[in-house]
Amino acid sequence: MRTRHYLLATQKETPADAEIVSHRLMLRAGLIRKLSAGLYTWLPTGLRVLRKVEQVVREEMDRAGAQEVVMPVVQPAELWQESGRWVQYGPELLRIKDRHERDFCLGPTHEEVVTELVRNEVNSYRQLPINLYQIQTKVRDEIRPRFGVMRSREFIMKDAYSFHASQASLEETYRAMHVAYCAVFERLGLAFRPVVADSGSIGGSTSQEFHVLADSGEDAIAFSDGSDYAANIEMAEALPPTAARPAPTAALEEVATPGVDSIASLCSHLAVDATRTVKTLVVAGEEPGSLVALVLRGDHSLNTVKAEKLPGVASPLRLVEEAEVRDTFGAGFGSLGPVGVALPVIADRSAAVLADFSCGANRDGYHLVGVNWERDLPLPRIEDLREVVEGDPSPDGKGVLQLKRGIEVGHIFQLGTKYSEAMDATVLDEHGRSVTLHMGCYGIGVSRIVAAAIEQNHDDRGITWPAAMAPFEVAIVPLNMHKSEAVTSAAEALYEHCRAAGIDVLLDDRDERPGVKFADMELIGIPHRIVIGDKSLAEGEFEYKGRKDDEAQRIDRDHALDFLRAKLAG
RNA sequence: CGGUGUGUAGCGCAGCCUGGUAGCGCACUUCCUUCGGGAGGAAGGGGUCGCAGGUUCAAAUCCUGCCACACCGACCA
């Protein structure tokens, strides 16, 4: 490719609304342009990167025995009604009507379509297992699109669906997908971690996420420093404290705490540590109109995923309005406590082992100190409610937890029979009996990977692509090309040799000053750069610089191609 | 959906308070000089000031409504 007629679309200035580095660089390097909120055009350079990611994914899926298909983006409502998700999925499902007023949706995922396909085409256990995948545009009407293609309303995803006659077969494919995913992210040169995950709205039991580690990640992940344990923080269990609850030593007392409406202000007012306080959160119960009080140690945070899975607690979790709380407790948020409340109370494991603690008095402007379970109030139901913090013991008993942030780029699920049962997808087994299919599903956020890779690979000049993802492998930068015939012919010759050798090469034949060319090639992150100028050319040499190198080096022009081949191979 | 903020040339912004000729930088076009790290000069092109209504002799500016976008909280690849 030559830059002269190539839509390079680089820009010096950063659009004001780009918050994270990958979004800024994708705009500046001319990878994407925004059409509307959460909707992006992929420009030639961006598309090249996208295609490289797709190809790695495709190769590893094929290697793992999956077969590629393409399913429709537009899907009939009937299928979604059959699985129950037409009502369950919520407003994120973008619904449309055709000219006959029939309901359709734009596919956010394809469980229904693929199950419909397989129940028609596969009838015997002999045809199983089967694993079908596609690389295709998905549509989700995101509440809040942000960070460019990281969270957009339209995005490219690889989604695979496997079907099995038994749970054992499903587990085998699930493991194979785990291996394939690790291979994909390794080939792409990304620092990643597989983590135990919540299966969320897709359903099913076992699931793991693959996270690219980055400070800008939207997810927190917890992992042990003493074992392989790693989990999304939503799933990380906070183990029960090992120490028993101390005996009470203080007397129960109500103290005036004017203006105190938070744990922080309570601590400074009473000169106590947050670990000796308790906070009370009120959420909706399972029965319509009912409430449940959740009690956590002052320095801990509620884990909403854990909470909404508890029997008696409404799912999705709903924190109630202050007015509602006031009706029940007679006090506002800042003065709530578990003493003397008529509601079901659930205490976190850490809160349940406190003695002589402080909490709200259920009277505005007052708190209780010296509170003790079983003396001042009954010991309530105890559950794991809180978010783990750094330094907690690892749930597998080995080591302590560390927290990092991650970008979810892959997710594998064992769905079980959720969809096959709802949609009556069965085969006959070797005894001629009808068995419900077991199902797995496996997603990779292809467009998100592009952004995630930039989060991990950039410097103050631009993107520093991992080799496998770079839009071009080699940039040829001739200096003074329009004036020097020697430079022109050398550049043209090297360009043709590279093309003949199958190298992805970009020849910068623009009539621009050197600084402009260098800056652009570095911004878009081409890993290898050959500069051809009159001075070095007179000595029969080119100049080579790797994108991450500090210094350029001279190379013999006659061996430039071999030199590049060696660089690309290694 | 709630909270906050912003809509003026392709991009980044000023002008609005105090109504009166629509401006700056980058980018773009032409010419001259320059040419190994985002050059200098000269001359140009490009805007229904988000939309609709209102106030006024006069609205980018004041008022009302609507729309769009961004950021902060509940969703997910």
pTM confidence score: 0.90
Nucleotide with smallest C1' distance to residue A318 CA: B74
Cα separation, A417 vs A298, whole angstroms: 42
Which residue type, as a one-letter code, is found at position A328? T
Which protein residue lies nearest to nucleotide B39, measured between its Cα and the C1' atom? A513
Cα A378 to its chain centre, rounded Å, is 42
Protein-to-nucleotide distance from the CA of A17 to the C1' of B55, whole angstroms: 35
Protein-to-nucleotide distance from the CA of A17 to the C1' of B63, whole angstroms: 30
Question: Which domains are seen in chain A, by residue range?
Answer: 16-237+403-454 (3.30.930.10), 253-383 (3.90.960.10), 472-569 (3.40.50.800)
Residue carrying structure tokens 């993107």:
A463
SS3 at position A501:
coil
Tokens standing for A262?
A: 């938070």
What is the DSSP code string of A16-30? TT--SHHHHHHHHTT
Helix axes A44-63, A167-187, angle to 10 degrees: 140
Nucleotide with smallest C1' distance to residue A413 CA: B77
Nucleotide with smallest C1' distance to residue A148 CA: B70
Nearest to A150 by CA among A23, A17, A46, A27: A23
Q: Are strands A438-445 and A154-164 parallel, antiparallel or unpaired?
A: antiparallel
Q: Where are the alpha helices (DSSP H) in A525-559?
A: 534-538
Helix axes A485-500, A560-569, angle to 10 degrees: 40
Nucleotide with smallest C1' distance to residue A199 CA: B76
Bases along strand B below 7 A from a protein CB: 1-2, 11-13, 25-27, 34-39, 68-77
Which residue type, as a one-letter code, is found at position A532? I
Cβ-based neighbours of A487, under 8 Å, separated by 6 or more: A478, A479, A480, A481, A532, A533, A534, A537
Class of residue A392 by CB neighbours under 10 A (exposed 0-12, middle 13-18, buried 19+) = buried
CA separation, residue A184 to residues A165, A191, A431, A506 (Å): 27, 11, 39, 26
Nucleotide with smallest C1' distance to residue A541 CA: B36
Protein-to-nucleotide distance from the CA of A357 to the C1' of B74, whole angstroms: 31
Cβ-based neighbours of A480, under 8 Å, separated by 6 or more: A487, A533, A534
Nucleotide with smallest C1' distance to residue A211 CA: B77
Which protein residue lies nearest to nucleotide B12, measured between its Cα and the C1' atom? A13
Cβ-based neighbours of A373, under 8 Å, separated by 6 or more: A245, A352, A354, A355, A379
Q: Where are the beta strands (DSSP E) in A87-153?
A: 94-97, 103-106, 130-139
Per-residue pLDDT 10s for chain A (570 aa) are: 999 989 999 998 877 778 889 999 999 999 999 888 889 999 999 999 999 999 999 999 999 999 999 999 999 999 999 999 988 887 889 998 888 989 999 999 999 999 999 999 999 999 999 999 999 999 998 888 888 999 999 999 999 999 999 999 999 999 999 999 999 999 999 999 999 887 655 555 688 999 999 988 888 899 899 998 999 888 889 999 998 999 999 999 999 988 888 888 888 888 899 899 999 988 888 888 888 999 999 989 888 888 888 888 887 787 887 778 888 888 888 888 999 988 899 999 999 999 999 999 999 889 999 999 999 999 999 999 999 999 999 998 999 999 999 999 999 999 999 999 999 999 999 999 999 999 999 999 999 999 999 999 999 999 999 999 999 999 999 999 888 999 999 999 999 999 999 999 999 999 999 999 999 999 999 999 999 999 999 999 999 999 999 999 999 999 999 999 999 998
ipTM here: 0.90
Query: Is residue A395 within 8 Å of A237, Cβ to Cβ?
Result: yes
Protein-to-nucleotide distance from the CA of A37 to the C1' of B61, whole angstroms: 29
Protein-to-nucleotide distance from the CA of A50 to the C1' of B74, whole angstroms: 31
